[in-house]
């Protein structure tokens, strides 16, 4: 982790992986983002799941081993329990404390569903503990989190999912993906009026301070979030407000005023992009559901 962050910080175009946005405070700030009027993905996706619940459950099947990637507070998957009736629920998240708290609450609410939480960085490996059933696995990856990978990484990740699905009775994936839309809607969603997304982005610096003993001062940086149409993605950066030097145990980096650290890409898709991505990764029988404005898509595909 230290080597990865140091290499990313000292590269000519400094960048830090978006996974470091999620320390306990970062996870809470992300929950707050999902409540913002500007951040339409969460409520739009929820509306699609509510509207098409029966159809989605029919495509995905009931009694599945529901593997929730980046589960966070587990609320999205819990909303599907009544329709999907999972035989086992496996929430996975990098933020261990947040995950354990969420699952403790959920166990009381759904005592009949066996739950097995796994705190791990699933972007590195999808090798699951032996206690996770191999039967009819359904990888649930909502919220357009796949969009935080670059297209090549997204394909590689989907291929790994497909491999992990082929070890038992054939399963599938249930994804939520954000669609290309007017840049003004996207700009507002990633640079909100209250500055919650700014706090979420800046909090990464405090997280990195703890991880590698760096001395980033968030007050020296400002949040940038905008839609880059040429790359079909929203980009988040942190921009230095003045010339400064950041030091950490064993290293340092000079930043000029206006120099940026790239912290996140959030790719947006057309329905055709989604079909191509899934088919290139070996999935088939793709089904998609949309909201009336076609701002977001939920899709199911078989391994």
Q: Give helix 75-84 / helix 53-60 axis angle, nearest 10°.
A: 80
- 83 vs 235, beta carbon nearer ligand AVI: 235
Q: Give helix 271-280 / helix 151-165 axis angle, nearest 10°.
A: 50
- 133 vs 145, beta carbon nearer ligand AVI: 145
Distance, CA of 173 to CA of 219 (rounded, Å): 41
CB 91 within 8 A of CB 103: yes
CB 239 within 8 A of CB 226: no
- 143 vs 151, beta carbon nearer ligand AVI: 143
DSSP class of residue 132 equals S
- 117 vs 264, beta carbon nearer ligand AVI: 264
To the nearest whole angstrom, how small is the minimum distance from the Cβ of residue 89 to ligand AVI? 20
To the nearest whole angstrom, how small is the minimum distance from the Cβ of residue 107 to ligand AVI? 25
- 132 vs 180, beta carbon nearer ligand AVI: 180
To the nearest whole angstrom, how small is the minimum distance from the Cβ of residue 5 to ligand AVI? 19
- In the sheet where 260-267 sits, what is the strand order? 221-228, 233-240, 260-267
To the nearest whole angstrom, how small is the minimum distance from the Cβ of residue 23 to ligand AVI? 14
- 199 vs 211, beta carbon nearer ligand AVI: 199
With CA atoms as reference, report the closest residue to 47 among 303, 265, 294.
Answer: 294
- 6 vs 264, beta carbon nearer ligand AVI: 264
CB 141 within 8 A of CB 173: yes
Question: Tokens for 235?
Answer: 């980009």
CB 271 within 8 A of CB 282: no
Continuous H helices in the chain: 2-10, 24-33, 40-51, 53-60, 75-84, 96-109, 151-165, 183-189, 196-212, 271-280
CA distances from 227 to 78, 102, 112, 295 (A): 32, 32, 44, 15
Distance, CA of 192 to CA of 266 (rounded, Å): 16
To the nearest whole angstrom, how small is the minimum distance from the Cβ of residue 36 to ligand AVI? 9
At residue 48, φ and ψ (nearest 5 deg) are -65, -45
To the nearest whole angstrom, how small is the minimum distance from the Cβ of residue 142 to ligand AVI? 9
To the nearest whole angstrom, how small is the minimum distance from the Cβ of residue 94 to ligand AVI? 12
Binding residues for ligand AVI, per CB under 6 A? 33, 41, 143-145, 147-148, 190, 197, 264, 266
- 197 vs 203, beta carbon nearer ligand AVI: 197
- Residue whose beta carbon is closest to ligand AVI: 266
To the nearest whole angstrom, how small is the minimum distance from the Cβ of residue 76 to ligand AVI? 12
């Amino acid at each position: 982790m230290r080597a990865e962050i140091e290499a990313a910080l000292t590269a000519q175009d400094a960048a830090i992986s978006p996974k470091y946005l999620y320390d306990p405070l970062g996870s809470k700030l992300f929950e707050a983002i999902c409540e913002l009027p500007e951040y339409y993905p969460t409520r739009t996706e929820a509306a699609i799941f509510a509207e098409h619940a029966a159809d989605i459950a029919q495509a995905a099947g009931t009694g599945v081993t529901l593997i929730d990637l980046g589960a966070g507070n587990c609320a999205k998957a819990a909303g599907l329990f009544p329709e999907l009736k999972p035989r086992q629920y496996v929430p996975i998240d990098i933020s261990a404390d947040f995950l354990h708290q969420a699952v403790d609450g959920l166990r009381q609410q759904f005592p009949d569903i066996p739950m097995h939480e796994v705190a791990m960085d699933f972007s590195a490996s999808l090798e699951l503990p032996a206690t996770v059933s191999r039967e009819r696995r359904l990888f649930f990856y909502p919220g357009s989190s796949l969009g935080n990978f670059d297209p090549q990484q997204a394909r590689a990740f989907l291929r790994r999912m497909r491999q992990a699905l082929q070890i038992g009775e054939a399963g599938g994936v249930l994804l939520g993906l954000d669609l290309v839309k007017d840049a003004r809607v996207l700009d507002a969603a990633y640079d909100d009026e209250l500055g919650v997304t700014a706090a979420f982005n800046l909090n990464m610096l405090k997280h990195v301070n703890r991880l590698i003993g760096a001395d980033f001062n968030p007050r020296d940086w400002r949040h940038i979030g905008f839609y880059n149409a040429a790359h079909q993605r929203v980009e988040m950066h942190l921009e230095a407000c003045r010339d400064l030097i950041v030091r950490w145990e064993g290293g340092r980096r000079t930043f000029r005023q206006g120099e940026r650290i790239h912290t996140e890409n959030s790719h947006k898709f057309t329905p055709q992009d989604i079909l191509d991505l899934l088919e290139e990764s070996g999935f088939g029988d793709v089904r998609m559901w949309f909201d009336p404005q076609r701002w977001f898509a939920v899709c199911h595909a078989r391994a």
